[in-house]
Structure 1
Amino acid sequence: MSEANASATRITPGNALRPEDIALLETKPADAVAQYALWLGDDALILAQRLGWWISRAPELEEDVALGNIALDQIGHARSFLTYAGRAWDKTEDDLAYFRREPEFRSVHLVEQPNGDFARTIARQFVVALYQWELYSRLVDSSDPTLAAIAAKAVKEVDYHRDHSIQWTLRLAQGTDESRRRMIAGLKLTWPYVEELFTDHPLVNELGDIAVRPSSLRSSFDEAVKLVLDEADLELPDVPGAIGGGRQGLHSEHLGYILAELQVLAREYPGASW
């Protein structure tokens, strides 16, 4: 989002849009394509807001930097997807980020969940990073050139996110009794929200080869998860799934609090600049 309206996070040259990115984003997408871009942009935006909380709170200084950088990458992805989506409705990325109400967001419940302790955050990152890597790896072949270009940039960054979360999952699971206990607890709290990531929606049928069918990612995601959990000597949590509904604007109780923090400055001083 622009520096004029940024609140909890700020844009740096490292995740600013390049001229070639802007040229692609100037294409006006069909409404269905814009809705799909909104899904992906909202996931990234809300996750970034959650991760930004860890800056100055992580268990070691290096993790302040690492989680902050992952958050900035997610903001970069959100900027691209929301800019592209907004063109369908003559709205800016700031309009979509700061001036939509809670039911208008399309993020999945997983990214809205509380950070909890560090192990719970790592468990969430482990799931999200593996999912996003599978998603963007397929989306690079989208017949929509803008979505393909955004995915091509994003997948390189998510590859680092994936490695980071895997290494911490192993480190916590194979560390002390306490770190292992917390990692197991983090996975149990995270796992109910996994199913929503792979639920198909009518919008995907409408888009055909523009979008990636979520259910098509599940088998490769499960294989990747199993490899890591086997190495960590962990088992898949046996827990019931959550209801979900984020793609339809039905959110967990947590999203309202996230948006209150994210949007307060832009809403208090609309159009402000400095």
Structure 2
Amino acid sequence: MSDDHVYMTLAEGHDDSDARWAFGTGFEDPLHGVDTAVPAGVDREDLAACCLALGDDALVSAQRLAEWTTRAPELEEEVALANIGLDLLGQARLLYARCGHADGTARGEDAYAYFRDADAFRNVRLAELPNGDFAFSMVRLLVLSSWRLAHFERLTTDPDPVLAAIAAKGVKELAYHRQWAAEWAVRLGDGTDESHDRMQAALDQVAPYLGELFAAYDVRDEVLAVLNQVTDTAGLRIPAWQPLPGGGRDSDHTEHLAPLLAELQAVARAHPEATW
């Protein structure tokens, strides 16, 4: 399989023309015309928990991607990573707003992003790990975008119309995130000995966290099909792994989340009455 084939296959079924323009951060309101009332029969607690967890995944991932600003290998990659992070930040904002409506607290997105401590976050642990080298960040982005895309595709038919609309917008963005990461995975995996070794080392580091992802959502087959396709093309292998105990959905985080949040929340907490 040529490099071009893996990109084309991953793009099948996704019209990413919108996503390619400013990485999906267009001017259309994804909730325009959507009934925001929680439908009868939808469990508000479950809806709030789902939105909170997905929002936390997006916010923490966006913060890690922002750390590549001024540090990426080339300017083009720096801009791409920043814009992918902005996509995820936009998803987090929509999800937090829905969470505040669903849980009955009417809390705004800032309350969830800036004024919770690490033990209140529900993101998966893979999102909070330090960036490491560029290879690690590319493998993580490939895994998380593949996993999130598979789940968002299912959520497009969710009984809550707001969550379904958020997912529909996110699918276009995540399809591009996955493709961009896949291109880098093939480029580095099938590149020099050094780039290949770094990519394989990154896969070895990420693999133990796959168990937590698959425990959160039943998308194992879809995600592994994508990862196997990309790694086969890149001459890489997904190692056997033993799932790590615990997980971020249960507030069992690594020591890396608290410092990340401290940096993210510092200004807002220093000026709690300000409007952001």
Fold-level similarity (TM above 0.5): yes
Q: What are the within-5 Å matches in structure 2 for residues 217-256 of structure 1?
A: 217-256=219-258
List gaps (5 residues or longer) in structure 1.
1-11, 201-213
Is 1:31 aligned with 2:31? no
Q: Deviations over 1:105-163 (max 9, x none)?
A: 10000101110000000010010111111111111011111111000000000010010
Change over 3 Å in CA distance of 1:121–1:19 after alignment to 2:
closer
The structural deviation recorded for 1:84 is 0.4
The one-letter amino acid paired with 2:47 is V
Structure-to-structure mapping, 1:86-235, within 5 angstroms: 86-87=100-101, 88=103, 89-200=105-216, 214-215=217-218, 217-235=219-237
Per-residue CA deviations over 1:13-67 (Å, capped at 9, x if unaligned) read x748855627648535712211111010000000000000001100011000000
Instruction: Give the secondary structure class of the aligned counterpart of 1:21.
Output: coil
Provide the aligned length of Structure 1 versus Structure 2.
248
Is the 1:169–1:232 Cα contact (8 Å) retained in structure 2?
A: yes
Match of 2:90 among 65, 69, 76: 76
**Percentage identity across paired residues of the two chains:** 44
The residue aligned with 1:46 is 60
Q: Note if contact 2:36-2:162 (Cα within 8 Å) is conserved in structure 1.
A: no
Taking the aligned partners of 1:112 and 1:142, their CA distance within structure 2 comes to 27
- Say if 2:30 and 2:169, in contact at 8 Å, map to a contact too: no
Tell me the amino acid that sits aligned with residue 61 of structure 2. L
TM-score by length of 1: 0.85
**Range that drifts further, 25-34 or 78-87:** 25-34
Matches of 1:109 and 1:151, distance apart in 2? 22
What is the root-mean-square deviation in Å for CA atoms of aligned residues?
A: 2.0
- CA deviations 1:196-239 (Å, max 9, x no partner) are 11115xxxxxxxxxxxxx12x11121111111111111111234
Name the SS for the 1:199 alignment partner: helix
Aligned residues of 1:123 and 1:186 also touching (Cα < 8 A) = yes
Match of 1:57 among 71, 77, 80: 71
Does the residue aligned with 1:194 lie in a helix, a strand or coil?
A: helix
Rounded to whole Å, the distance in 2 between the matches of 1:64 and 1:20 is 27
Contact 1:25 1:80 in 2 (8 A): no
d(CA) in 1 for partners of 2:238, 2:266: 39
Q: Is the CA contact (8 Å cut-off) linking 2:36 and 2:161 kept in structure 1?
A: no
Check conservation: 2:141, 2:181, Cα contact below 8 A.
yes
Task: Tell me, in whole angstroms, the C-alpha distance in 2 between the residues paired with 1:268 and 1:151.
Answer: 33
Read off the aligned partner of 2:254 and give its amino acid letter: S
Q: Secondary structure at the match of 1:130?
A: helix
Tell me the TM-score normalized by structure 2.
0.85
Q: Which amino acid aligns with 1:115?
A: N
**Compared CA separation, residues 49 and 17, structure 1 to 2 (3 A):** farther
Is the contact made by 2:155 and 2:164 (CA closer than 8 Å) also made in structure 1? yes
Paired residues of 1:108 and 1:244 also in contact (CA < 8 A): no
- Could you tell me how far 1:103 is from its partner in structure 2? 1.0
Alpha-carbon distance in structure 2 between the residues aligned to 1:223 and 1:35 = 28
